[in-house]
Amino acid sequence: MDNTEKGRAADYNEDEARLASLGYKQNMKRQFTGLQNFGFTLTNSSVLIGIIPLFGFGLKTGGPVVAVWGWLLVAFFVMFIGLGMAEICSTFPTAGGLYFWTAKLGGPKWGPMFSWYEAWFNMLGQVAGCSGSVLAAALFMNTLISIWVPSYVPSGRNDFFVMAALMIVAGLVNTAGGRALKIASLVSVFVHIVGTIVIIIVVLVGAPERQSAEFVFTEFRDYTGYTTTAKTSPVFVFMLGLLQSQWSMLGYDASAHMSEETEKSYVNGPRGILLSIFASVLIGLGLALALTFGIQDYLTTMDSPYGAAPRIFLDCAGDKGGSVLIFIVVFAGFLCGVATVASNSRMLYAFARDGGLPFSPFWT
């Protein structure tokens, strides 16, 4: 056994010992590296499938100010949450994640009750998040088809079938085993970082005209239409617009859910949480700035049947180039579906292991 193998064996024994101290036996193979753990969390957050589908929503609820400053504001607070989660994850690196932490930190009086509630909210939220990301990918896939097939009319039925197909494939990737997930994680890191950079460059370079810095950093728009007799509160509109950023600033608990299969989880789990947030903030800010600078006509972009971001892609890169950018988003959405299924299944397994689900032995 060489030094590398000895080091891995020592790390594995340390991981197994830490897990045993928390009351669990090592049942899953530790096959993911720190980079792959980071990849799962970066993909769960997915700025491409968070910012881009909701960019039109942001244009209505505050406009450029919300897209840029709202992103930074949400990122500021999320970083503090991430720091706290990373600290706890370093002590309790288990697949249960948040609900297990709640049980331990809540004490014997409040821990069990709040842990149970947290587990169910976490699980249901993950199911909704997974469905939302794949639905966004399906919507953009249908947008892509409608660009090249003018007679094609997107419908709710078509959206559902495309979404179902993508979800089934995402599930099949997960059932293919650890090797498939390793590849998917690394590919997703490339798509979300390099793909986002490509979108930023193409939009900024290809834009026929670019908006001014004053517009990007100070323009506030309210097209909510909540009232026709009085002006809607700008504070309310701004707070509503923050949902565009908050939709991307989530899912970073995936590093914890994947921790029982991650080498040196007490280090790589917390690191995955913090690095994914940091990377998402940087590439997300660049994406938000590029899209805002690339707006050609505000109202046309906001009300485009293709969606605001696809309209910007088409304006800046033409039908062919814009279609490539849209496909990047579709692929990112599919990879997000793969990662969320992986994370969700680990959380469900952990909850069943603790007897929290009906027919728990069946799920474990």
The reply to whether 10 falls in a domain is no
In 3D space, the residue among 237, 264, 273 whose CA is nearest the CA of residue 32 turns out to be 264
pLDDT at 183: 94
Tally the domains of the chain: 1
pLDDT at 4: 52
The reply to whether 17 falls in a domain is no
The reply to whether 26 falls in a domain is no
Pair 242, 84: CB distance under 8 Å: no
Q: Residue 259 above 90 pLDDT?
A: yes
In tens, the pLDDT along 15-33 reads 899 999 988 888 888 999 9
Share of the chain above pLDDT 90, in %: 73
Average pLDDT, integer, range 39-65: 93
In 3D space, the residue among 201, 204, 206, 199 whose CA is nearest the CA of residue 316 turns out to be 206
Distance (Å, rounded) from C-alpha 126 to C-alpha 51?
18
The reply to whether 5 falls in a domain is no
User: CATH number of the domain that 158 lies in?
Assistant: 1.20.1740.10
Look up the domain containing 348 and give its range.
31-98+109-356
